[in-house]
Amino acid sequence: MEATSKCTRYRKGDLSLTNTSMHGFYALKTIPNNPNGEAKVTCRVCKAECHCLMPSRTNSHSCSACLNVSNSTLRPHKKECGICRPVKKIGTKLFKLGDLGSSNKNGNLLSGSLYPSMPSSSALPSTSRYNKRAVLCGVSYRRRKFRLKGTINDVSNMKDLMMKKFKFPEECIRVLTEQEQNANMIPTKHNILESLRWLVKDCQPGDSLVFYFSGHGLQQPDFEEDEIDGFDETLCPVDFLREGMIIDNEINSTIVWPLKKGVTLHAIVDACHSGTILDLLFVYKHESGIWEDNKPPSKEPIRKHTNGGLAICLSACEDSQTAADSAVFGGKGMNGVLTYLFTKTIREYPGITYGRLLENMHDEIKKINRSRCNSRILQHIFNRKIAQDPLLSSSEKFDVSTTMFRL
């Protein structure tokens, strides 16, 4: 058995902010320079090491293994390596890290150019008109040190649930993973956004739409002043180092705005910092049992609502938390904690309400943590407890204790 936070080697993203500078990027641990002029750098978080040749005009460096950024006192050099690269400016460039432009020993590019964006969706499978459509996206970042091991299992689990439990026709489910043969189905930024546009295109009353994502999630400063906590939540496509992340504002405008009256969208997001990834107007607080206002604080009105439809999001954790992959559930391989508990609960409790679904997942996480504390074996397996609280948000308030969960 194995369990890892999605913000360590297999965690789903950690560029998390603290009360100090820029979400508290962890410092890189440096080792004295070698006689040949190279400096060996070890990241304090992911322990990745490299011989790093640093340019003279910067003392900020990012670890592409775990995405942590900090200052370093390394002696300046002329070149840079593929793991610890210079960060010249705090801001947008910090999060859109750019093309590394290097390759490994096998000649595989280390940048997002492994997965070139496709110019159009003409090669996508054609689908008939159904009142149920879904986009299932699992990103494993398989050629990188921050790869995830459970995302393919997550997508398979979700697809099986939707077809057998909620009767989604297979031809109306669009799956994006790095294992797909069709290049249009690789989870690049372009392909994900194209699929989201397909999901809501020409939606009609009675439609049930689903967006599922399993992968890394991050945060970045909110420059539009439309976030209560001052940070935008993001999803990381497979090519995010080159093309950038998908920001919550863009997700909101792409799949929330177009929802007509009578159309329901469910988003299930198994990623770190994913609490308000859809930027919906209301957040349900599990502890108090009330809906809290999540309207943007900016003076100028910023659109966050639907066109009359209903959008509901179930996230792996709150914006400030991280999500975990785990093998503690048994079976083959690893699974996202949210995905496994969600699918397990839906299968075991037909007609479950939103409130009971959320309660059961919280209870299961508590049981896992209690078991870890009582077992020496599990103490050895787990570096720390699973510290994530699944979160429910919605475009409008509803009674979670009486409303049944349906897709």
Greater model confidence, 87 or 248: 248
Average pLDDT estimate for 6-35? 37
CATH of the domain at 142: 3.40.50.12660
Greater model confidence, 82 or 215: 215
Angle, helices 248-255/189-200, rounded to nearest 10 degrees: 30
Tokens 């979700």 correspond to: 158
Per-residue pLDDT band at 407 (split at 50, 70, 90): very high
pLDDT tens digits along 306-359:
999 999 999 999 998 998 877 766 666 788 999 999 999 999 999 999 999 999
Tokens of 83: 């793991």
With respect to residue 157, please indicate whether it lies within any of the assigned structural domains.
Answer: yes
The whole-model pTM stands at: 0.71
With respect to residue 43, please indicate whether it lies within any of the assigned structural domains.
Answer: no
Distance, in Å, from the CA atom of 172 to the CA atom of 268, rounded to the nearest integer, reads: 17
With respect to residue 387, please indicate whether it lies within any of the assigned structural domains.
Answer: yes
Active-site residue flag, 216: yes
pLDDT at position 280 is 95
The residue from 190, 216, 266, 273 that is catalytic is 216
Per-residue pLDDT band at 287 (split at 50, 70, 90): confident
Closest alpha carbon to 264 in 306, 213, 211, 309:
309
With respect to residue 237, please indicate whether it lies within any of the assigned structural domains.
Answer: yes
* Listed range (92-106, 199-213, 321-335) with the worst mean pLDDT: 92-106
Is residue 273 scored above 90 in pLDDT? yes
pLDDT tens digits along 142-187:
888 889 988 999 999 999 999 999 999 999 999 999 999 999 999 9
Tokens of 369: 């943590």
Average pLDDT estimate for 377-395? 72
| Total domains present in the chain | 1
pLDDT at position 368 is 80
With respect to residue 295, please indicate whether it lies within any of the assigned structural domains.
Answer: yes
pLDDT at position 49 is 45
Distance, in Å, from the CA atom of 280 to the CA atom of 202, rounded to the nearest integer, reads: 21
pLDDT tens digits along 44-76:
444 444 333 333 333 444 443 444 444 443 333
With respect to residue 125, please indicate whether it lies within any of the assigned structural domains.
Answer: no
The residue from 272, 273, 313, 317 that is catalytic is 272
Is residue 85 scored above 70 in pLDDT? no
pLDDT tens digits along 8-17:
444 554 433 3
SS3 sequence of the chain:
CCEEECCCCCCCCCCCCCCCHHHCCCCEEEECCCCCCCEEEEECCCCCEEEECCCCCCCEEEECCCCCEEECCCCCCCCCCCCEEECCCCCHHHHCCCCCCCECCCCCECCHHHCCCCCCCCCCCCCCCCCEEEEEEECCCCCCCCCCCCHHHHHHHHHHHHHHCCCCCHHHEEEECCCCCCHHHCCCHHHHHHHHHHHHCCCCCCCEEEEEEECCEEEEECCCCCCCCCEEEEECCCCHHHHCCEEHHHHHHHHCCCCECCCEEEEEEECCCCCCCCCCCEEEECCCCEEEECCCCCCCCCCCCCEECEEEEEECCCCCCCCEEECCCCCCCCEEHHHHHHHHHHHHCCCCEHHHHHHHHHHHHHHHHHHHHHCHHHHHHCCCCCCCCCEEEECCCCCCCCCECCC
Active-site residue flag, 63: no
Report the share of the chain in percent with pLDDT over 90: 48
Q: In which order are the strands placed within the sheet that holds 69-71?
A: 69-71, 60-63, 84-86
pLDDT at position 82 is 33
Range of the domain at 229: 132-394
Average pLDDT, the chain: 74
Greater model confidence, 95 or 288: 288
pLDDT at position 28 is 31
Average pLDDT estimate for 366-389? 64
With respect to residue 116, please indicate whether it lies within any of the assigned structural domains.
Answer: no
* Listed range (24-28, 208-212, 268-272) with the worst mean pLDDT: 24-28
- What does the longest C-alpha to C-alpha distance in the chain come to? 70
With respect to residue 97, please indicate whether it lies within any of the assigned structural domains.
Answer: no
Closest alpha carbon to 324 in 254, 381, 276, 250:
381
